[in-house]
A and B are shown apart, each in its own frame.
Chain A
Amino acid sequence: MGDRGDMLQGTLDMLVLKSLQVEPMHGWGITERIEQWSGGVLQINQGSLYPSLHRLTRQGFIASSWRVTENSRRARYYALTASGRRALSSEQTSWERLSQAVNFIMRMTPG
């Protein structure tokens, strides 16, 4: 499925879902939002974003529609579905468990 980004497999999908939690957004907006929220640390590999969006669409987690932007341009907006919200919350829980565990290990001091 060609996830060639720097992120862990599955993490991108989770971040995309998270970025849509507030309001529907087009692909470019999702990229910007994630970069912004992460203070520029996370650079979304744009070649991976759209496959991810279509994967999530097929899984039924997000839905898309064409709208006109504030500059009167046509863009495809993505929005979370109900099952997308559920998926996001369960992802969030398991991510927190995982990151706590990783942090715990990384903070251990030898000796």
Chain B
Amino acid sequence: MSLVSWFHRARSTVRLAAGFIGRGRQDAELDDELDFHIAKASERNVRRGLSPEDARRVALAAFGGRTHWIEQTRDEQRSRLLEDFTRDVRYGGSALRRNPGFAVSAVLTIALAIAATTTVFSFVNTVYLRPLNVPEGKRLVRIYGADRPEFDRQLGFPAYQALRGRARSFDLVAAHYSTAPLYLTSRNESAEVLGAVVSAEYFPMLGVRPVLGRFFGPDEDAVPDRDAVAVIGYGLWQSRFGGDPGVIGEHVTINTRVFTIIGVAPPGFEGVTSGWINELWIPTMMLHAGYRWCDALQRTCPITSVMARLAPGASLGSARAELSGLRQTLLEATDPADSIHTIAVTPATGVPTSQQHDYARLSTLLAAIAMVLMAVACANLSGLLLARGVARQRELALRCSLGASRWRLARQLLAESVIIGVFGSAVGVVVSLWTSRALVNFFAADNEGYVHRLVVALDWRVTAFCAAITIVTVLLFGLMPAVRVSRVDPAEALKSGSGSTARSRIRGVLVAGQIMLSLSLLVAAGLLMRSIARVMASENVDAHHLAQLRLRPRLVGYTPDRAQEYLMRALESIRRVPGVVDAVPVRGSIVRQATETVPVALPGEPAANSRNRPGVDYFDIGPRYFATLGVPVLAGREFTNADTPESPAVAMVNEALAQRLWSTIDVVGRTIVLSGKPFQVVGVVTNYRTHRSDESPPASAYVAFWQNSFEPQVDARVAIRVQGDPAQLFTPIRRALEAVDVAVPVTETITMDAQRRSTYTELRLGGAVLSVGAALALVLSAVGLYGVVSFVVARRAKEVGIRLAVGARPGEVVALFVRQGLRPMWTGAALGLAASVALAPLLSRWLFGIAPVDVPTMVGALASVILVAVIATYVPASRAARTDPAIVFRSD
């Protein structure tokens, strides 16, 4: 549908709607009045000698047809306001059509701002606001311990038992552990599946129905370890069992226990933890199979979360009141080590509360960038509309002196803004569908190789937000030009093109503001990009040819002896795969986090953690670990095959720990006490682990993997150095491991590059968004600057003509305009640099290997801004030099 016909259709719709109210009564009266008139006219015609029929026909003809008459009269009656509104819209539409270049750039500018804000809001909606996508989603609440804002605690299974049946605000209460990696073996295939351990109320509470079979009955979730039954997800049913209805009753192995499949969940049901897609469910009475680190049925092992459904008539407020009465009972059922004092009840919206805290910083950054883009876009459009207002000043002044009210003129300009806003936001919403998907794709995989999927969708919240933001935007960029135009003094404006100094000043301020925002964004983007480069390059580790995987004999119940015998053979088989250079075991993550810390001391000191002797991160590493990673050993040696449980206990330290304990790195041969146990230091390595710029390098100790120094090894991560692309070798490595022992789960198979990327997702996302935002802001500022200079050049054409006529060289004229045009840029740049320095600390959490105030970054950003600004002013300024001096003689 063309723009024109759209307008016509919209207009007639508005007319219909406007006339509809009270139309019946009005029409009846019109008919009555018409009938009376026709009757009188007919009477006269009869008196003049016509037959009654002819008399009536002639009387009717005098009206030019009944319908026509009614239509015309109705036109007069129609609400003036709506009539004017449609006229304004029509007029604004045609004004925009006459100037398509302006219309398109204005619509795209606003579309960009709307797309940015809508994308961010979609993200916020997904993370915080949207209820779970299940039939009973709106009545579901989460119940958790909320003493620490950054880290909410699950209440655990006994608290669920204490709450169940006791709180009348809830009609159902359920316990769930929804991030359970379950190792599923079925039909001769084994793989890790993300599962959930849930109580029998879980499915009824959500209102979900099985597509096949049934869900857990209360009796199946009553006695620990008795009923080994499982429900599988629709996706798993299709992929793993080919959609076979005979799957019900089939026996599968989950974490070495035999389970019977009793049901299939409906398609699209992914569990209750957004971003974590469950594909397998077992009852809470099977927690011992689903979780192995402690007894999850005890209060000292609180891994299950509690959810509930509000009873009909109950509110969040009544639930909170009731829970505060039950507080003591509940607290007694929680882990004393967690020292929970506050029980919170919140609607089950978005991702789980503890993850919401993780996203808070990122959401804030995204919102800030969207705001800046919105501000820059609005400033730009304001400028453009002001310039248009000036160009049309004489037209408007003329209409004003012909009797159009100023309010009317202002409204017409506002109508243009409304059209731009509406079309812009329509385009913006479409763009945001794509960009918000791109945004959540950053979270598609975590640093252990698990898949996450956050679903963004255009729901009513997003639509409402978009409508609101459009109104705000239109008011922001449309109101000022409209108000200014309404103040036009017709006499002044008709006389000449003078009186625009104030307006130029406003536009100068707008440009300066845009430059300031662009420069701050550029500096922030530059910092993050440099930080990302540092992280990915990771000076001391050659990550491009490294992969890791995790061998988990503990999951299948191996004793330490059997597990270690397996690990030895598994490592040997990996090393034999063509392309593999070496494979070395490690306990703890390779990239960043330490698994645990231990108290550290010098011989003779008490071995307790204290304020001046904090614990150190420690890692159990195999022989040749640093050679495999490519990390330089500064002094001494690293561990070898000769370091066995029978040989003396040895350790390595990094520079930071050596400096901390002895103030030197020449420490080979000294003794260190870790967790009360003495070790001889045999080597010192560099501080290779990535750390934040506002923190000092973490002190780390390394002990020999095979010496089993603190507890016997069972599971291990394996660092694998390869030639070529590590991802290519995963399949042959898996084959080799299956040949050793098919029963042992192999998980977290991931290249080191991918692991790095996903460990720093937030940083990369922040960097990408900031870069795009900064580039857009810079382009918009350039457009704004270009507009201002073009405007000034056009205004002063006469003056330029005179200058050229009296002998000024074109170069001088260009320089004049460039100098003048760049003036707001300098102000903006100065403010922008100041803002960057002031705001730098906000970024420090994301800065690795780079200081928050980084001179090269600032110089680079400033140079780009100056370059772009010079181009944006030079192009229109050079047009001035081509002014025909004869313009002087032309009348205005």
Contact = CB atoms under 8 A, between A and B. Distances in A.
A60 interface: no
A85 to B, nearest CB: 22
A110 interface: no
A29 to B, nearest CB: 8
A26 B75 contact: no
Given A28-B40, A28-B41, A50 B75 contact: no
Interface in B19-41: 29-30, 32-34, 36-37, 39-41
A86 interface: no
B76 A1 contact: yes
Contacts of B806: none
B731 interface: no
A75 B36 contact: yes
A107 interface: no
A50 B36 contact: no
Nearest to A75: B36
Given A2-B72, A54-B77, A74 B40 contact: no
A46 B62 contact: yes
Determine which residue in B30, B39, B40, B64 has the highest number of CB atoms from chain A within 10 A of its CB, and name it: B40
Contacts of A75: 33, 36
A73 B30 CA distance: 15
Contact of B76 (A27, A51, A73): A51
A34 to B, nearest CB: 14
A73 B36 contact: yes
A2 B63 CA distance: 13
A57 to B, nearest CB: 9
B73 A54 contact: yes
Contacts of A28: 36-37, 40-41
B68 interface: yes
A55 B36 contact: no
A75 B29 CA distance: 10
Nearest to B30: A50
B434 interface: no
Interface string A29-51: 00000000000000001110011
Contact of A51 (B33, B37, B75): B75
B241 interface: no
B64 A55 contact: no
A95 to B, nearest CB: 21
Contacts of A1: 75-76
A2 B70 CA distance: 12
Contacts of A55: 76
B662 interface: no
Interface string B73-86: 10111001000000
A58 B77 contact: yes
Contacts of A2: 72, 75
A97 interface: no
B151 interface: no
B69 interface: yes
B526 to A, nearest CB: 64
Contacts of B33: 27, 50, 75-76
Nearest to A28: B40
Contacts, number: 52
A50 B77 contact: no
B68 A47 contact: yes
B76 A47 contact: no
Interface in B445-503: none
What interface size band does chain B fall in? 20 to 34
A28 B41 CA distance: 8
A24 to B, nearest CB: 14
B75 A76 contact: no
Nearest to A3: B72
Contacts of B76: 1, 51, 54-55, 58
A33 B496 CA distance: 54
A27 B72 contact: no
Contacts of A73: 36, 39
A27 B36 CA distance: 9
A45 B41 CA distance: 13
Contacts of B37: 26-28, 46
B69 A50 contact: yes
Contacts of A26: 36-37
A47 B36 contact: no
B745 to A, nearest CB: 83
Contacts of B30: 50
Contacts of B64: 47
A22 B324 CA distance: 82
Interface in B72-109: 72-73, 75-77, 80
B69 A47 contact: yes
Interface string B37-81: 101110000000000000000000011100011001101110010
B714 to A, nearest CB: 91
Contact of B72 (A47, A58, A74): A47
A13 B181 CA distance: 87
A77 to B, nearest CB: 11
A26 B73 CA distance: 16
A103 B62 CA distance: 32
A47 to B, nearest CB: 4
A2 B74 CA distance: 12
Interface in A50-106: 50-51, 54-55, 58, 73-76
A74 B32 contact: yes
B60 to A, nearest CB: 10
Contacts of B77: 54, 58
Nearest to B36: A75
A26 B37 CA distance: 9
A28 B37 CA distance: 5
A102 to B, nearest CB: 24
Contacts of A51: 72-73, 75-76
B394 to A, nearest CB: 28
A20 to B, nearest CB: 16
Nearest to B29: A76
Contacts of B63: 46-47
Contacts of B68: 47
Contacts of B73: 50-51, 54
Contacts of B34: 50
Nearest to A2: B72
A51 B68 CA distance: 11
B47 to A, nearest CB: 12
Contacts of A47: 62-64, 68-69, 72
B404 to A, nearest CB: 17
Contacts of A58: 76-77, 80
A103 to B, nearest CB: 28
B83 to A, nearest CB: 11
Nearest to B62: A46
Contacts of A50: 30, 33-34, 69, 72-73
Nearest to B71: A2
A94 B73 CA distance: 28
A30 B261 CA distance: 92
B74 to A, nearest CB: 9
A74 B76 CA distance: 23
B64 to A, nearest CB: 4
Contacts of B80: 58
Contacts of A76: 29, 32-33, 36
Contacts of B75: 1-2, 51
A55 B72 CA distance: 11
17 contacts: A1-B75, A2-B75, A26-B36, A26-B37, A27-B33, A46-B69, A47-B62, A50-B33, A50-B34, A51-B72, A51-B75, A51-B76, A54-B76, A54-B77, A58-B76, A75-B33, A76-B32
Interface of A: 1-2, 26-28, 45-47, 50-51, 54-55, 58, 73-76
Given A46-B37, A54-B77, A75-B36, 11 more contacts: A2-B72, A26-B37, A46-B41, A51-B72, A54-B73, A55-B76, A74-B32, A75-B33, A76-B29, A76-B33, A76-B36
10 closest A-B pairs by beta carbon, nearest first, are A28-B40, A54-B76, A47-B64, A46-B62, A75-B36, A51-B76, A28-B37, A50-B73, A47-B63, A51-B72
